[in-house]
Structure formats: C-alpha cells, structure tokens
Amino acid sequence: MTSTPAAAFAGPELVCPAGSLPALKAAVDNGANCVYLGLRDATNARNFAGLNFDEGAIANGIQYAHQRGCKVFMALNTYPQPSNPGLWRAAMDKAVDLGVDAVILADPGLMQYAVARHPGLRLHLSVQGSATNYDAINFYREQFGVVRAILPRVLSLVQVQQLIDKVSVEIEVFGFGSLCVMVEGRCALSSYVTGDSPNTQGVCSPPRAVRWQQTSQGLESRLNGVLIDRYADGEKAGYPTLCKGRFNVGSDESYYAVEEPTSLNTLELLPQLLKIGVKGIKIEGRQRSPAYVAQVTRVWREAIDHCCVNPHRYTAKRGWMARLDQVAEGQQHTLGAYHRPWK
C-alpha cells in the first residue's frame, strides 16, 4: 500500500529502480514518485541478461505508472560508440514515442540529438556524466537545456549544498544502494580486466567474464581469470567486481583494498537533504529483485513522509534501518562521502 499518493506529494521525489516490470510495479505500489528503467541493450548502464525492458513491457509499465501518478524516466546513460551510434538515437526516439517523462543522459552528442529532434523532451544529466561542480552542471543547462543533474556519490553534504546554491537545475542525489567510490562515468577497472567498459557496454563485470570455482581453499570468484575473492564455507559471496575484491596487500594480509561491500544509506540525513533543496532522492538497484525494490521503497516512502510533516523532530527509526540493512550489501551501511568527520 502507498502511504502517500505520488501525485499529491510535495516534497523531494523518491526515484526508484525498475529492472523489470514486476520491479516497476513494486516501486509504484509502495510509493515511488518516479521509476527509472532501461532497454535490453548497451544504451543503459545495467545491461545484464534477463534485465530491463522490451518495447511491450515499457508501454505496459508506463501505463501502469501514469495511471497511479508516477513518472517514468528512461536511462540512456552510456556513451554511443563510433561503430553504431544509431542504436542510441533509435532508443531516444523510442523513449519519446512511448511517452516517458524524461531521459537520463551522459553523452553531450546524444543530448544535442535530443535538442534537435525532440525539443520538448525533459533531459536529466546522468551520474555517468560525472558533473561534480556548478560550472559543469550550468554548462549542460545552457547548452542542452538539462533540467536535473544526478550527482556522483563522491561529494560531501556541504559540497552538495554549495552546488545547489549556484545552479539553476534540479539536483538529485543517491539515498540508498550500492556505493561507488570511483569517478562514475570514467571508471576503467572493468575494461582493464575484461575489455568491456560499463561506460560503453553498460555492464560492470560482464557475466561472460565471471567464473565461480570451488577449491580446497574455498569458493573462488574470478573475473576474466583474475582472482577477485575467496570465500570460506558458509561465508556470503558477493558478485565479483574488481573494486570490491579482497587482495593481498603488503605481506600475507588479505582485505578489501579499494572498497568494502556495503550500501550507502542516507536515511538519517533526510532533514538536511530537504533543507538544502534536494529535488530527488534516488534508490540504486535496477539489478536487484522486486522484493528488494518493494522493501526499500516502502521504508523510504514512510521516512520521507514523516520528515516532511515535522523535519525538526525527525529521526531514522531503528525498524527502518534494520529493514534496509536486511537488503544492504554485506548487511551493513555507511554515509559514504556525505559524512566526513575530519573536515
């Protein structure tokens, strides 16, 4: 059940992932103001087999969402390649024909195509565009009419506020989900190991390169033959990505040298996010299940509604945090770059 009808909501939009039609419906039914989705090809940054939408499913999903006052955004957030730029242009045309409310873009050339062919289309700057300062964001606004920017997960809360004060576009931030410590849109780790870049092929750690093998030392996960991690019996195994692997550093000590498997969770920062004028709070997880989408959306809907009623008395309830930790990576959470106590 939706605690607040999306169409009547006056606070920041809750933007939720839809990796499938059941996930889209789970988001809508549990209070999302917007859902974001992608096609079954390299035009989006979650190009996994069995994920995303064909044309029929998108049409069904848009109808379902719009009938319930929920917006639909399409992610076309990878970078067109010289060998086949038409794939991205055709996806843009299809998004318009299907009636999406906005497209999420990273490539300036594709933005120019949108401006020329579909001048009324609402453009959002993807996190893959890696715009972390007001000059960059204002450039996209002036050149292409971008109306919203999704910030990378590398800025502190103070930096987000400073940016909002100097831009004329809406700002959307990540609220919950996988934490990326890289410069999003420019990470070369996956392409270094597999030859496929998530910024062009839409896949970080493509499934074709992933291998699992039970050995005498434990369950090993490999990416294109490179040992990413080794798990003891009974230890929960995560999907192998180079940034979240455990490596021998220095002597024989093995640990997460780049990034630990943990989820970003900014639920306790909601009053500050509302105060500084964040327009959208994004939930990561198009690769996750409809059950994940339902649970996370339900918690965030309830929390945002409570915060909007009385932000001065808001606290993140233990029950909310516990329910989010159940679906978090490593069943633990962090504020990531938003909280820097040494500054």
Q: pLDDT tens-digit profile of 128-148?
A: 998 999 999 999 999 999 999
Positive or negative CA dihedral for 148, 149, 150, 151? negative
The answer to whether 174 touches 155, Cβ cutoff 8 Å, is no
pLDDT of residue 138: 96
**Largest pairwise CA distance in the chain:** 60
Confidence at 185, pLDDT banded by 50, 70, 90:
low
Q: Please give the backbone phi and psi of residue 267, each rounded to the nearest 5 degrees, phi first.
A: -55, -40
Across the range 47-69, mean pLDDT stands at 93
Residue 267 CA: distances (Å) to CA of 20, 81, 182, 187, 206:
25, 38, 22, 27, 31
Reply yes or no on whether the pLDDT at 54 is more than 70. Answer: yes
Which DSSP string do the residues of 295-328 spell out, in sequence order? Answer: HHHHHHHHHHHHHHH-GGG----HHHHHHHHHHS
Which DSSP string do the residues of 176-223 spell out, in sequence order? Answer: EEE---S-TT---HHHHHHS--TTTTS-SS-GGGEEEEEETTEEEEEE
Q: Does domain 6-179+262-338 have CATH number 3.20.20.70?
A: yes
**Antiparallel, parallel or unpaired: β 280-283 and 13-17:** parallel
pLDDT of residue 179: 78
Domain ranges for the chain: 6-179+262-338, 200-256
pLDDT of residue 191: 80
**What is the residue type of 2?**
T
Q: pLDDT tens-digit profile of 317-341?
A: 999 999 999 998 877 788 888 876 6
Q: pLDDT tens-digit profile of 251-302?
A: 677 778 777 778 899 999 999 999 999 999 999 999 999 999 999 999 999 9
Label residue 240 left, alpha or beta by phi (over 0 means left) and psi (-120 to 50 means alpha).
beta
Reply yes or no on whether the pLDDT at 3 is more than 70. Answer: no
The answer to whether 306 touches 198, Cβ cutoff 8 Å, is no
Reference 336, options 240, 276, 268, 242; nearest CA is 268
Please count the CA atoms within 13 angstroms of the CA of 273 that sit on its side-chain side: 29
> Per residue, what are the HEC states of 214-255?
EECCEEEEEECCEEEEEECCCCCCCCCCHHHCEEECCCCCEE
Confidence at 8, pLDDT banded by 50, 70, 90:
very low
The answer to whether 35 touches 15, Cβ cutoff 8 Å, is yes
pLDDT of residue 47: 82
Residue 86 is inside which H or E element, if any? helix 86-98
